[in-house]
Amino acid sequence: MLVAGAGIAGLAAALDLAEAGLTVELLETAPQAGGRCRSFYDPVTGHRLDNGTHVLLGANPAALDFVRRVGGRFRELPAIYPAVALDGPGGEITGRHAIRLGSPVQLMRSLGLGAGDLLALAGLLLDGRVNGPLGTARPGLLSRKLGQAVLAPLVRAALNIDPAAADARLVARMLRRLALAGPRGFRLHLAEGGLDAALIAPAVARLRALGVRLYPTTPLDRLPPPDPDRMIVLALPPAAAHRLLPNITVPRASSAILNIHYAPDQLPAGMPEALMVTGGMADWIFHRDGILSITTSAADALMDRPAEVLAATGWAEIRTCLAMAGLPAAMPPVRVVKEKRATMRHDPGGEALRPGPVDRTRPRPDVVLAGDWTATGLPATIEGAVVSGQRAAAAVLRRR
Ligand SMILES: Cc1cc2nc3c(=O)[nH]c(=O)nc-3n(C[C@H](O)[C@H](O)[C@H](O)COP(=O)(O)OP(=O)(O)OC[C@H]3O[C@@H](n4cnc5c(N)ncnc54)[C@H](O)[C@@H]3O)c2cc1C
C-alpha cells in the first residue's frame, strides 16, 4: 500500500490500513510529517511554535478519537470563557461578556439571545434544501444579534470564510452536527505542548510501531503504473492531486489564516487560555506555555500587509482585551505566520468541486483520494482530514 502525503489525512489513512494488517509506505515531500498542522522552532521568540493554534471542538469525534488512538494529548478547556467586542482593529472595547459553553440554551442565555433567535437558527438548521451563499439564502440572519454573537464567529472559525459568502448548506450541516453533539460539542480542545508534541510525533511513533515506513523528503512525482496488488491513497493538497490525476475536479480557491505569536518576558497568573474577540483584527487570543497568540480566519485581505503593522495591531488588541494583565506597551519578540492557502474556500462554487474518495469514471481505479478538501460533508479541518483518510482506507479495504 502506498499513501502519499503525511498530513493528518495521510496519517489517518495509514493508521487504519496498518491496523488492518496491510504493509504501508508513506511518502512525504516535506522533511517532516504534519502538513498544515505543524510546529517549528522560531529563533526570534526562542519557542517552538505552531503554524497556527489548532482548536478541536467536542463535536469533532473522529479527530478526538484519532488523538486518543495515537496516544496524543488535546486538553478540554473550561466551559466558560470571556469574549470582548472592539470598535475596530486595534480599537476600544465596546462590550465584554462571558460565554457559557454548555447546552445551546445556556449558550444563548449567556449571550442574551431570545426565542426569536432560536427560531431563526432552527429554521436554518432544519432546512435540508438550503443552498447558495449564507448571506443570500438567509438574508438578515447575520445582522441579528444571533448572527453577530454566535453564527459569524463560528462560521469564520470553522469554515474560514466571510460568513455571508459561506456555503449555506455546509453551515446548516455543521450546525446540525453541533446540535446533535450535545453540550460538550461546543467545548474547545487545545494541543498540549503544541501540535507536534500533542499529535504529529505520537501519530508517527504509533505508525512506526505498526511497521509503517515513512519516507520524508520523498515527493510522489508521478503515479506508478497500475498494479492490481497495490492501491494508492493520494492524501495531497488539491493542486498536487490534480497534477497527478488531471481529470479530477478540485477546489481551486483558498482562504488565508493569520497567526501572530508573542513571547513576553513574564505573564501574570490567571490569564484566560482562550478569549473570543469580535470587531477587531483578531478573532481569538490564546495563551499557552508563555506564548500569547492571535488567530484571524478569512484573513485574505491581511496577507499583503507588512508583518510589523499586523504585529503592532495585534499587540494593541491583546493589551486592550487583557487590560487586567498590565502588559507592557513595548512589543515583545514576535513571529507573524501568514498561511495564504490555509484551507479551501467554502463558498458554493468551491463546495461543488470537492471530489469523493472514489470516482468510477477515473482512469485509475487503484487510486483513492483523501484530504480535508475532498467531499466529506465537513469543513476543511482536522476532523474533515481524519474522516477523509478513514474513508479512503475503508475504500481500499473494501476492494481487497
Ligand atoms: C493556520 C491554520 C490554522 C488552522 N486551524 C485549524 C483549527 O483550529 N482546527 C482545525 O480542525 N483545523 C485547522 N486548520 C486546518 C487543518 O490544519 C487542516 O484541515 C489539516 O491539517 C489538513 O490535513 P490534510 O492531510 O488534509 O492536508 P495537508 O496538511 O495539506 O497534507 C498534505 C501533505 O501532502 C504533502 N505533499 C504535497 N505534495 C506531495 C507529493 N507530491 N508527494 C508526497 N507528499 C506531498 C504535503 O507536504 C502535506 O504534508 C488550520 C490550518 C491552518 C493552515
CATH (domain of 8): 3.50.50.60
Q: How far is CA 320 from CA 82, 145, 265, 317, in A?
A: 14, 23, 18, 5
Ligand 1 center to 342 CA (angstroms): 8
**Which residues make beta-bridge pairs with 39?**
50
Q: What's the pLDDT at 308? A: 98
In angstroms, how far is the first alpha carbon of the chain from the final one? 11
Which residue out of 39, 54, 213, 369 has the highest number of ligand 1 atoms within 8 Å of its CB and is therefore the one to mutate?
Answer: 54
* Rounded-to-integer distance, Cα 111 and Cα 276, Å: 13
Please give all residues whose beta carbon lies within 6 A of any atom in ligand 1, as ranges.
4-10, 27-30, 35-37, 51-52, 54-56, 219-220, 235-237, 240, 257, 259, 339, 342-343, 371-372, 380-385
* Residues with Cβ within 8 Å of residue 190, at least 6 apart in sequence: 53, 54, 55, 74, 75, 77, 273, 274, 286, 288
Cα 285–chain centre separation: 16
Give the position of cell 469574549: 83
- Would you state the cell numbers that stand for residue 31, as one nine-digit string? 522533511
pLDDT at 97: 87
| Residue having the nearest C-alpha atom to atom 19 of ligand 1 | 381
Which of 182, 211, 239 lies at the terminal end of a domain, its last residue? 182
Same domain, 216 and 108: no
> What pLDDT is stored for residue 259 in this prediction?
98
Q: Which portions of the chain are predicted below pLDDT 50?
A: none
Q: What is the pLDDT of residue 389?
A: 98
Q: CA dist 187 to 5, 84, 214, 216, 375, Å?
A: 30, 18, 34, 35, 26
For atom 13 of ligand 1, the residue with the nearest CA is: 381
333 and 45 Cβ atoms separated by less than 8 Å? yes
Whether residue 50 lies inside any domain: the answer is no
Shared-domain flag, residues 249 and 350: yes
Residue 55 within any structural domain of the chain: no
Say yes or no: 121 and 146 in one domain. yes
Last residue of a domain, one of 182, 212, 233: 182
How many A from CA of 170 to the centre of ligand 1?
20
- Rounded CA gap, 206 and 211, in Å? 9
Q: What is the pLDDT of residue 25?
A: 98
Of 134, 154, 182, which residue sits at a domain end? 182
Ligand 1 centroid–CA 373 distance in Å is 10
Ligand 1 centre and the CA of 168: distance in Å?
24
> Do 25 and 154 belong to one domain?
no
Tell me the C-alpha distance between 343 and 5, whole Å.
Answer: 16
**Do both 152 and 293 map to the same domain?**
no
Q: Which pLDDT tens digit goes with each residue over 44-98?
A: 999 999 999 999 999 999 999 999 999 999 999 988 888 999 999 999 999 998 8
Examine the domain organization and report whether 264 and 334 are in the same domain.
Answer: yes
Q: Can you give the pLDDT at residue 382?
A: 98
Considering the domain boundaries, does residue 365 fall inside one?
yes
Residue 7 alpha carbon to ligand 1 centre in Å: 5
The Cα 201–Cα 114 span in angstroms is: 45
SS in 3 state form for 28-84?
CCCCCCCCCCCEEEECCCCEEEECCCCEEECCCHHHHHHHHHCCCCEEECCCEEEEE
User: Cα 381–387–392 angle (5° rounding)?
Assistant: 125
Residues paired with residue 26 on neighbouring β-strands, in sequence order:
3, 214
Instruction: Tell me the CA–centroid distance for residue 34 and ligand 1, in Å.
Output: 7
Q: Are residues 282 and 226 in the same domain?
A: no
70 SS3 class: coil
Q: State the distance from the centre of ligand 1 to the C-alpha of 340, rounded, in angstroms.
A: 12
Q: Give, for ligand 1, the residue of 60, 373, 381 to mutate: max count of ligand atoms closer than 8 Å to Cβ.
A: 381
- Shared domain check, 369 and 287: no
Q: How far is the CA of 99 from the centre of ligand 1 (A)?
A: 30
Q: What are phi and psi of 129, to 5 degrees?
A: -110, 10
pLDDT of residue 207: 98
CA-nearest of 293, 296, 330, 286 to 312 is 330
The answer to whether position 375 is within a domain reads yes
Say which residues have a Cβ less than 8 Å from residue 221's Cβ, sequence separation at least 6: none
> What's the angle, vertex CA 355, arms to CA 383 and CA 297, rounded to 5?
45
The verdict on 20 and 156 lying in the same domain is no
Determine the structural domain holding residue 223 and report its residue range: 2-40+194-253+346-398
Number of neighbours of residue 78 by Cβ within 10 angstroms: 11
Q: How many domains does the chain have?
A: 3
Closest Cα to atom 6, ligand 1: which residue?
Answer: 54
Q: How far apart are CA 349 and CA 261, in angstroms?
A: 33
Quote the ligand 1 centre to 328 CA distance (angstroms): 35
Q: Are 243 and 390 found together in one domain?
A: yes
Best of 188, 214, 236 for a ligand 1 pocket test (most atoms within 8 Å of beta carbon): 236
Atom of ligand 1 nearest to the CA of 27: 43
Task: Give distance in angstroms: CA of 37 to centre of ligand 1.
Answer: 6
Residues 337 and 263 in one domain: yes
Residue 361 confidence (pLDDT): 65
Do the domain assignments include residue 76?
no
Give the closest residue (by CA) to ligand 1 atom 2: 52
Q: Do residues 268 and 339 both lie within one domain?
A: yes
- What is the residue with the minimal CA distance to atom 15 of ligand 1? 381
What does DSSP assign to residue 324? G
- Torsion of the alpha carbons at 200, 206, 208 and 211, rounded to the nearest 10: -140
- Is 62 a member of any domain? no
Q: Which residue has the least CA distance to atom 18 on ligand 1? A: 381
Cβ atoms 372, 385 nearer than 8 A? yes
Cα–Cα dist 318/312, whole Å: 10
| Residue 302 resides in a domain | yes
Nearest-angstrom CA–CA distance, 354 and 253? 12
